[in-house]
Amino acid sequence: MENNVELKLAIIGCGTKATQYIQTWIVRSDIQLLAVMDPNGKAMDNVCSIAAQAGKTAPLCFDSWQTLLKEQHQQLDAVYICTPHANHAEQALLALELGLDVLLEKPMVTSVAEAEALAAAQQKSGKTLVVAYQGGLSPLVQELKDAIANEKYGALVSINAAIWEDWADKYQGHWKQVPKISGGGFMFDTGAHMMNTVSKITSKPFSRISAIMHNHGFPVDVVTSVSGELNDGTLFNLHACGRSIRCVSRIECYFPQAIVRICAWGRWMEIEDAQGNVVRKDQEAANNLMNVFMQTRNGEIENPSDVQQGLRMAQLWDAIKLSASQHGVPVTL
């Protein structure tokens, strides 16, 4: 082991998203990947191949996440959990109980009850839990949040947010479209990034919302439209379309002196002034996720995506489902 390793890491769930991160993290000298778990042995073989190509020792492989955590927790600092949504709460709870810091994929949980249990466990353990919303951890999102709070462009007037992807057909038959595992459809999967970033930048509680969902013949929602109001009277719209092209997002914030656009993942931001001049800023995502997690657990920065934000998201999602089940009847949060 190199002397400058700061983080001894395990990964539960080695699918596409985790593998993308592993390819970036494995080459870092401040991280050592000690163990991985996935029910698909080929996925773990792929991780071992990535490690070999990077000249790194292959991680230990487990077919049970409980076994990994119970047998390896004393050798580990943290675990990254990248599994189906319905598994998040149980896996994160055990990791916290065993004294590990947790980087948990979004959405944090599938219900308010799970969010409250996880918040209690995190407080009891004193360990760090960061929810891996790229937008929640993005310096550009934080910059926009501060601009809104400080009324840099005047008071925020309204927000219009949209996210779209070729999701319905791409994930047909995938666990993401099995309600008991996914906890929802497109709005709760890719759309969760949009909901979280809007929630993050406003800092104000949601007051009421009205939501309509359409499944378009799929077992989960594919298109969702939400209109709502913050407790200070600011109006917002959220639109998620899972049967379109590519994977794109645009969140527009309207001010008296500017329009600010940002993507749900906080990768870019554009600031347009009254004369039509546009300043664009870009942010690299993969290493930023891990960098912010490490800075948070080291106490260098406040947690920008904590369990309380996860609880707020769970409350919003429960309200959206309730309103949609009544075809748009307004729900007070």
**DSSP notation for 176-245:** GG-HHHHSSSGGGTTHHHHHHHHHHHH-SPEEEEEEEEE-TTSSS-SEEEEEEEETTS-EEEEEEESSSS
Report the C-alpha gap between 274 and 289 in whole angstroms.
Answer: 34
Report the C-alpha gap between 193 and 190 in whole angstroms.
Answer: 6
Q: Which residues pair with 9 in a beta bridge?
A: 33, 78
Q: Hey, what domains does the chain have and what are their CATH numbers?
A: 7-133 (3.40.50.720), 135-283+306-332 (3.30.360.10)
Q: What are the 10-residue block averages of pLDDT along the chain, 333 residues in total?
A: 74 95 94 97 97 96 98 98 97 98 96 95 97 91 96 98 98 95 96 95 93 97 98 97 97 98 97 98 80 94 92 94 97 96
Q: Which of 167, 173, 166, 148 is nearest to 158 (CA)?
A: 148
Return the pLDDT at 6.
87
Return the pLDDT at 283.
84
Return the pLDDT at 4.
63
pTM (two decimals): 0.91
